[in-house]
Amino acid sequence: MLVLGIETSCDETAVGIVEDRFTLQANVIASQVELHAPYGGVVPEVAARAHLDQMLPTVETALAHAGARIGDIDAVAVTSGPGLMGALLVGVSAAKGIALAHDIPLVGVNHLRAHVEASQLEHGELEPPLVALVVSGGHTSIVVMEPDGGFRQLGSTIDDAAGEAFDKIARFIGLDFPGGPEIDRLARGGDPEAYAFPRALMDASYDMSLSGLKTAVIRELRRMEAAGVEPDLADVAASFQEAIVDVQVLKTLRAAADEGLDQVVLAGGVAANSRLRERFTQECDVNGQRLIIPSVPLCTDNGAMVAASGSNLLAAGVTSELCLAADPNLALAG
Ligand SMILES: Nc1ncnc2c1ncn2[C@@H]1O[C@H](COP(=O)(O)OP(=O)(O)OP(=O)(O)O)[C@@H](O)[C@H]1O
Ligand SMILES: [Mg+2]
Instruction: Give residue 6's pLDDT.
Output: 99
Mean pLDDT by 10 residues, the chain (334 residues): 98 98 98 92 96 98 98 98 98 98 98 98 98 97 97 98 97 94 98 97 95 98 97 98 98 98 98 98 97 98 98 98 98 87
Range of the domain at 100: 2-117+302-315
Task: Supply the residue whose CA is at minimum distance from atom 24 of ligand 1.
Answer: 138
Contacts of 200 (CB under 8 A, 6+ apart): 208, 209, 210, 212, 213, 247
Residues 111 and 150 in one domain: no
In this prediction, residue 40 carries a pLDDT of 84
Instruction: Give yes or no for residue 136 CB within 6 A of ligand 1.
Output: yes
**Ligand 1 near 270 CB (within 6 A):** yes
116 lines ligand 1 (CB under 6 A): no
Question: How many whole angstroms from 1 Cα to the centroid of ligand 1?
Answer: 30
Q: Is the CB of residue 32 below 6 angstroms from any atom belonging to ligand 1? A: no
300 lines ligand 1 (CB under 6 A): yes
Which atom of ligand 1 is nearest to 161's Cα? Answer: 26
φ and ψ at residue 313, rounded to 5 degrees = -65, -45
Q: Are residues 244 and 101 in the same domain?
A: no
Coil, strand or helix at 110: strand
DSSP state of 317: T
Closest-lying ligand 1 atom to the alpha carbon of residue 170: 31
Q: Is 167 part of any domain?
A: yes
What distance in angstroms lies between residue 269's CA and the mean position of ligand 1's atoms?
3
332 located within any domain: no
From 119, 301, 305, 327, the mutation candidate for ligand 1 (largest count of ligand atoms within 8 A of CB) is 301
Query: Is there a single domain that holds both residue 75 and residue 187?
Result: no
138: helix, coil or strand?
Answer: coil
User: From start to end of the chain, where are the E strands?
Assistant: 2-7, 12-19, 23-31, 75-81, 106-110, 130-135, 140-145, 151-156, 263-267, 290-292
pLDDT (0 to 100) of residue 333: 87
Question: Are 132 and 197 in the same domain?
Answer: yes
Residues 158 and 243 grouped into a single domain: yes
Cis amide bond preceding 297, omega within 30? no
Residues 110 and 144 in one domain: no
Ligand 1 atom, smallest distance to 178 CA? 31
Measured CA to CA, the distance from residue 320 to residue 77 in angstroms comes to 9
Q: Are residues 63 and 157 in the same domain?
A: no
Is 201 found in the same domain as 147? yes
Task: Say yes or no: CB of residue 138 within 6 Å of ligand 1.
Answer: yes
Residues 265 and 311 in one domain: no
Ligand 1 atom showing the smallest separation from residue 12 Cα = 17
Residue 324 lies in a domain: no
CA of 296 to the centre of ligand 1 (A): 11
Query: Does 93 share its domain with 171?
Result: no
Number of domains in the chain: 2
The verdict on 66 and 133 lying in the same domain is: no
Give the pLDDT of residue 87.
98
Domain-located, residue 106: yes
Helices (H), 227-273: 233-259
Q: Any residues with CB less than 8 A from the CB of 246 and at least 6 apart, and which? A: 199, 279
Q: Is the CB of 137 under 6 A from ligand 1?
A: yes
Atom 16, ligand 1: residue with shortest CA distance: 269
What CATH code is carried by the domain that includes residue 187? 3.30.420.40
CA of 108 to the centre of ligand 2 (A): 16
Q: 229 and 140 in one domain?
A: yes
